[in-house]
Structure 1
């Protein structure tokens, strides 16, 4: 790779009535302005593999406000790859200029293929991939969300020696790659907690494919109704957290995770004196798109 990230920093946050509990945020969102957080980690070894194998084009998948789409577009521009984004929602083709994420990706040179939500469900089928190959010829395929074995290898590098004294490692969960890397990179005496942004327990099977330890569990009570679903309570929490700690949170992933951590502390889930490390996985580019939706619904926006 020809560009490198900054080092992440650990930042202690304020906890009212903390029972001796320490909460620290690992600011992975600070490591790169556009390929930040877990997106850099997931893409790192995939991009190296694409380069070493002589690919000139990257193809991947995502939704209207996908952090992954934005990161692939930016990384591709940095490294000289042509990029193709297969986007969920064929109606979005006429709305690129009104969408901050897609506009950014287009400015980075990404070419789009918009497909219906029905067709998008078949994106992992061999027939779907074969049609893409006929249309675009040779490309290096990166899965939706970036999760594969190489992505997990990258996420194993999130934790370092300075993190070994934490009792709990917390992260938001989308496709499972980041939490899998954290599990593999953690010490066996640490507890890794994943906070899924989607409904359901289906991610357990996916995570199990990648992990080498059993020191983990999923906390499934803080999805706020499902992926990209939020409410005024979550917005108030995100804004208060930012005003108190000077740390912005995205509403899809890290906001829900942090809300869950605070609620679990309040409910006594963590023993007194626990040391908790929360991974900030980035995703801040999605705030602009979410605020457009909130304004249309006459709801408070994320500051």
Structure 2
């Protein structure tokens, strides 16, 4: 496969997955903001989204204050923010259009229609219609795109690069969503019904509430939520599940240059497979997740170097 074709497929799937996961992150933060709390604490949660996406300077250039409305505008429909949901859906469509001949008709129509619908909605319209409903729409369109891909595309190299992009992006964003919640509890956090509601909202944001009940059959605790989203290989959005898929698909597209990238991915997968949540929490979850995200970046950079269009050329 041509490296440029692989590049477009890889980034098409990453941007589509990023839009979904950003919708999940924004949704859980929005739901948590509805719980009675001080304005300062609510704004800290919104600021965590900007910080975790390394957008402090870009946000400060457009908005003087970090609050719910400004962060929603910036992260949902700001065309100047390349990490907004709006931009992710646009970039997914642009990459899909570049390799239109490689995609099935159903794949192209799904991605193209998603973008056409998204670009026709203003922020005021989204808020009037219910921002939570918009987040659900984004998630549903991503699910549809992924389902059409699995159900219609030949499972050759094109499919493997799409899966690589999806799973790398999902691993990174699951870590970010989990880190946002723990960010608010670094200095003790709250207890009781409010805390239970917030952890329940976090699980629902990654479609894991029913999974948690089935796996643990007990009250929701931070330690078990972290274990479910990090170390459970049978949980589709967990870090271990994602890395299992990354290693598998890397093996299927391996070339003479990809040995080091495969080694880094295999090492990270092994540490997740044989890790224990007690050791992770003892080390510090925020620090562990930050290290994980750094290593995911290195693996993605390695994939770009080994298989795709070099970043300098792409820029």
TM-score for the superposition, normalised by structure 2: 0.24
Between Structure 1 and Structure 2, the one with more helix by share is 2
TM-score for the superposition, normalised by structure 1: 0.25
Between Structure 1 and Structure 2, the one with more strand by share is 1
